[in-house]
Amino acid sequence: MPDTERLYLQSIEAGYFTDFHAEVVRIEEEKVILDRTLFYPLGGGQNWDMGVLEGPNGTLNVHEVRGRNEIFHTLDKDHQLQPGDEIRGSIDWERRHAHMRMHTAQHLVSGVVYEVYNGARTVGNQIHHDRSRIDFNPISFTPEMLEHITTTVNDLLDENHKVTDTIMTREEVNQEMPPERTNMNLLPASVHQLRVVRIGDNIDLCPCAGTHVRELSEIGHIEIIGKKSKGKGTQRVTYQLQNPLSTPQPIRERI
């Protein structure tokens, strides 16, 4: 089966679209595969989008979205959709934008920690709509270090840098950022063309298939609310976001 077209990956701007049309290509009980989707599936540490599909038999809630090549949208078991059905989809904008803010903030925090604290790497992250976490190694944070990270990140957020994306080769990325900072070793060697998200001119640059804000003023400020040892030099930092300086409207034009 052909891969599901990921509409949200077309550009940073595409992350602001909420409505789309698609065709059902396959059914596996309550899981529905479409030919194209705006729904972000669980992956890269980012949680899935939620929303609704409108089909021939009414409106259906999307409870979960997973998959790599084919994207599976989990609906109620009695959805009654069939291959060939035309649907209209709409994602939950508040949840999507919360993930966008959280994910861009994660890139910024990870970049600051790497630069300030001797190349401490991000070795894991989980992006949720209300709070998120990042695992760093090797490092042991003191309260003063966490305060410094918070101040540094919030100063950058106040500067309201733009966030852009582009396609680069592995070699081009490695010329701009150390491979250990971008976790290049975690990407399959067969992948040569990478979607890369850049903050400002070169505040941060990282291969990423997640959804991100257009500018940092949409994030507001971060607040680090906890740290926890995960063993072997790894520490987990949990953060939440305060009110953003600007809140954009979604693009409801159907694509």
pLDDT of res. 38: 98
What type of residue is 36?
Answer: R
Do residues 173 and 163 lie in contact, with contact meaning Cβ atoms separated by under 8 Å?
no
The domain limits of the chain are 5-91, 96-241
Distance between CA atoms of residues 144 and 150, nearest Å: 10
What are the tens digits of pLDDT across the range 188-230? Answer: 778 889 999 999 998 999 999 999 999 999 999 999 999 999 9
Rounded to two decimals, the pTM is: 0.95
Do residues 167 and 195 lie in contact, with contact meaning Cβ atoms separated by under 8 Å?
yes
Whether the per-residue pLDDT at 44 is higher than 80: the answer is yes
Whether the per-residue pLDDT at 245 is higher than 80: the answer is no
Mean pLDDT of 93-120: 97
Whether the per-residue pLDDT at 47 is higher than 90: the answer is yes
Do residues 213 and 202 lie in contact, with contact meaning Cβ atoms separated by under 8 Å?
no
Q: Does domain 96-241 bear CATH number 3.30.980.10?
A: yes
What are the tens digits of pLDDT across the range 61-101? Answer: 999 999 989 999 999 989 999 999 999 999 999 999 999 99
To the nearest whole percent, how much of the chain has pLDDT over 70? 100
Pick among 2.40.30.130, 3.40.50.720, 3.90.660.10, 1.10.3720.10: CATH of 5-91: 2.40.30.130
Report, in this order, helix, strand and coil percent for the chain, each rounded to 5: 25, 35, 40
pLDDT of res. 97: 97
What are the tens digits of pLDDT across the range 228-240? Answer: 999 999 999 999 9
Distance between CA atoms of residues 215 and 217, nearest Å: 6
Report whether the peptide linkage leading into residue 138 is cis, meaning its omega lies within 30 degrees of zero: yes
Do residues 48 and 28 lie in contact, with contact meaning Cβ atoms separated by under 8 Å?
no
Do residues 205 and 176 lie in contact, with contact meaning Cβ atoms separated by under 8 Å?
yes
Q: What is the mean pLDDT of the chain?
A: 95
What tokens does 236 get?
């987990």
